[in-house]
Amino acid sequence: MTLGLHLPGDSVIHRLPVGWKIGCLLLASTGLFLVSDPAWLALALAGVAILVIVARIPPSVMARQMAPALVILAILVAVQAIFASGREALELGLRFGALLPLACLVTFTSRVSDMIEFIERITAPLARIGFDPAAVALALTLAIRFIPVLFQLMTEIRDAQRARGLERSPLAFFAPLLIRTLKMAHEVSEAIEARGDPAPPDGPAGRSRANRK
């Protein structure tokens, strides 16, 4: 399965439930902003490095994912070093230097489907205020399903545009893209309705029929 940035593996970190990993990440990020002693921050950075090794994430993969953020970070560190102080620049560099790979680690070791299940679970209590967790999960999975479909549609439209010499006209790209997407949305919602309601009987989606034209 080739969805998302997940790297399959069986390390302790891979096997940890998604909710735990996200909780730890939130705790760690809060902690890193409360601490300002470079020694402690350096220790945190070392800790994250160990976790990355434990999870057997190849350094090249990690580097590729972090590179754009690291460039911006380097600029900000330079700004701080020039206009503030060396210590503040060091603090900034260490803090994000630890945080970025830790966050990537959670991503690399967690499956997208587990994440969606987790989101469905934590949004369940919102059902009481008229929010539908099944609709949340449906929206996420539908979006994932349609990324390749829309990418292909975009490529087709762009080729058609080229054939007509319109490659520098964003309007000639976006107008057909959006109109075809809206038509497709109509077909997709018809297909979903024809396949039965995704929500449990009498759930919010069940009521949708009444207020549709």
Partner 1 sequence: MVVKHVVHIALFAAIVAALGLMPPIPLPVIPVPITAQSMGAMLAGSILGARRGGLALVVFIALVMIGMPILSGGRGGFGVFMGPTAGFILSWAVAAFMIGHLTERSWSRLTLARLIAFNVLGGIVVVYGIGIAWLSLVSGVPIDKALYGSAVFIPGDIVKCVLASMIAMTVKRSYPVIRR
Partner 2 sequence: MIELRDVSHAFDGRMILHDVHLRLDQRRIGVVGANGSGKSTFARLLNGLLVPTQGRVLVDGLDTRTDGKAVRRAVGFVFQNPDSQIVFPIVSEDLAFGLKPLRLPRAELDARIDAALRRYGMERYRDHPCHHLSGGEKQLLALSSVLIMEPRHVILDEPTTLLDLRNRNRVVEALGDLPQRIIVVSHDLDLFRDFDRVIVFDGGRIVADDDPAPALAHYVSLMS
User: Can you tell me which of 136, 206, 207, 211 binds partner 2, judged by CB under 8 A?
Assistant: 206
Q: Is 182 an interacting residue with respect to partner 2 (CB under 8 A)?
A: no
- Within 10 Å of residue 210's Cβ, how many Cβ atoms? 6
For 181-203, b/e burial (b = at least 16 CB within 10 A) is eeeeeeeeeeeeeeeebebeeeb
State the first-to-last Cα distance of the chain, in angstroms, to the nearest integer: 39
Q: Is 36 an interacting residue with respect to partner 2 (CB under 8 A)?
A: no
- Which residues touch 174 (CB under 8 Å, ≥6 apart)? none
> Could you give the CA distance from residue 14 to residue 6 in angstroms, rounded to a whole number?
10
Q: Is 144 an interacting residue with respect to partner 2 (CB under 8 A)?
A: yes
Q: Is 141 an interacting residue with respect to partner 2 (CB under 8 A)?
A: yes
User: Can you tell me which of 15, 128, 168, 209 binds partner 2, judged by CB under 8 A?
Assistant: 209
Q: Is 2 an interacting residue with respect to partner 2 (CB under 8 A)?
A: yes
Q: Is 70 an interacting residue with respect to partner 2 (CB under 8 A)?
A: no
Provide the minimum distance between the beta carbon of 87 and partner 2 in the complex, in angstroms, as a whole number: 48
Cβ-based nearer residue to partner 1, 55 or 116: 116
Q: Is 31 an interacting residue with respect to partner 2 (CB under 8 A)?
A: no
Whether 139 and 69 have beta carbons less than 8 Å apart is answered as no
Q: Binding segment for partner 2 among 9-17, 37-45, 162-170, 192-200 (CB under 8 A)?
A: 192-200
Cβ-based nearer residue to partner 2, 88 or 193: 193
Write out the two tokens for 194: 């024809």
Q: Is 201 an interacting residue with respect to partner 2 (CB under 8 A)?
A: yes
> Could you give the CA distance from residue 133 to residue 141 in angstroms, rounded to a whole number?
13
Whether 56 and 11 have beta carbons less than 8 Å apart is answered as yes
User: Can you tell me which of 199, 204, 207, 211 binds partner 2, judged by CB under 8 A?
Assistant: 199
Q: Is 145 an interacting residue with respect to partner 2 (CB under 8 A)?
A: yes
Burial class (CB in 10 A: 0-12, 13-18, 19+), 151: exposed
Cβ-based nearer residue to partner 1, 53 or 149: 149
Picking from 77, 102, 101, the residue whose alpha carbon sits closest to that of residue 89 is 77
- Of partner 2, partner 1, none, which one does residue 182 interact with (CB within 5 to 8 Å by kind)? partner 1
Q: Would you tell me which residues interact with partner 2 (CB under 8 A)?
A: 1-3, 113, 138, 141-142, 144-145, 148-149, 152, 184, 187-188, 190-201, 206, 209
